């Protein structure tokens, strides 16, 4: 009887230890690629040119970027406004939407705008296998080629999520990761209101900014309406609106920059 009591107590203690110890994350598809968070900070990636958040320049240049499109109503309206104010922008497109509306992506290119890869299904890259990541990049690229006749060298991961593995994979595919200025995240996907979106951009405008907006937000035209305020105001202040690649070409090299990703 004493032995049974000791055995029961031992089992109980073992179960308690197991339940209180965290179980490590496992990705059944490919544990070697999975990474829950970036292992290095912004400064590391930025000084090496691996990831771009903004571009140091003394010129009054701003890059407007639009994610998640194309959209059958918002994208044409945005293109019309950009043409009206002689502005260029960069559209980070989702491949599955490109396949439905290829003529809009073709129009973006024809009107002098830049097109970037924003994956095929807008999948998160925080926990993802290498094969799935490759598929998202390759299918996204293929959709752009079919729509416009040429690929892109720019990539924006959904949600801005990145890992060391994704940086390495992007380099292998010849893609530059483009994020956005932290002070220029309009969060227009939340539908915060036209003036909140406009004020976010106008109050924080600086040389070399990369502004994050969306040309696809379900049942919302707030971004379009905000642009009607943003474009003329910044133009009056002397800013020019350029593509990401043009902004990069005007980059002034800060002291200590490590050139490793040309």
255 is catalytic: no
Choose the catalytic residue: 50, 67, 188, 209.
67
Q: Name the catalytic one among 50, 188, 214, 215.
A: 214
Q: Are 130 and 87 a contacting pair, CB within 8 Å?
A: no
Which tokens belong to 17? 């230890």
Taking alpha carbons only, the member of 147, 173, 163, 52 closest to residue 93 is 147
Q: Where do we find the tokens 């973006």?
A: 108
For this structure, is 209 an active site residue? no
Task: List, by residue number, the catalytic residues.
Answer: 67, 214
């Amino acid at each position: 009887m004493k032995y049974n009591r000791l055995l029961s107590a031992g089992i109980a203690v073992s179960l308690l230890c197991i339940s209180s110890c965290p179980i490590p994350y496992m990705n059944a598809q490919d544990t070697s690629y999975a990474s829950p968070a970036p292992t290095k900070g912004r400064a590391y990636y930025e000084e090496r040119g691996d990831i771009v958040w903004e571009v140091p320049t003394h010129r009054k240049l701003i890059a407007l970027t639009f994610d998640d499109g194309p959209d059958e109503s918002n994208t044409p309206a945005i293109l019309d406004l950009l043409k009206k104010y002689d502005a260029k922008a960069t559209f980070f497109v989702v491949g599955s939407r490109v396949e439905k509306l290829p003529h809009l992506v073709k129009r973006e290119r024809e009107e002098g705008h830049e097109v970037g890869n924003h994956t095929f299904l807008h999948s998160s890259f925080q926990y993802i296998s290498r094969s799935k990541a490759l598929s998202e990049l390759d299918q996204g690229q293929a959709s752009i080629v079919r729509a416009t006749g040429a690929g892109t060298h720019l990539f924006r991961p959904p949600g801005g999520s990145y890992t060391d593995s994704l940086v390495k994979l992007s380099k292998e595919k010849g893609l530059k990761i483009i994020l956005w200025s932290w002070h220029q995240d309009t969060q227009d996907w939340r539908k915060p209101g036209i003036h909140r979106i406009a004020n976010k951009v106008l109050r924080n405008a600086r040389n070399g900014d990369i502004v994050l907006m969306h040309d696809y937000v379900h049942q919302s035209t707030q971004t379009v309406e905000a642009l009607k305020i943003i474009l003329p105001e910044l133009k009056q202040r002397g800013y020019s609106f350029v593509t990401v690649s043009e902004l990069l070409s005007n980059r002034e090299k800060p002291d200590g920059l490590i050139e490793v990703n040309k």
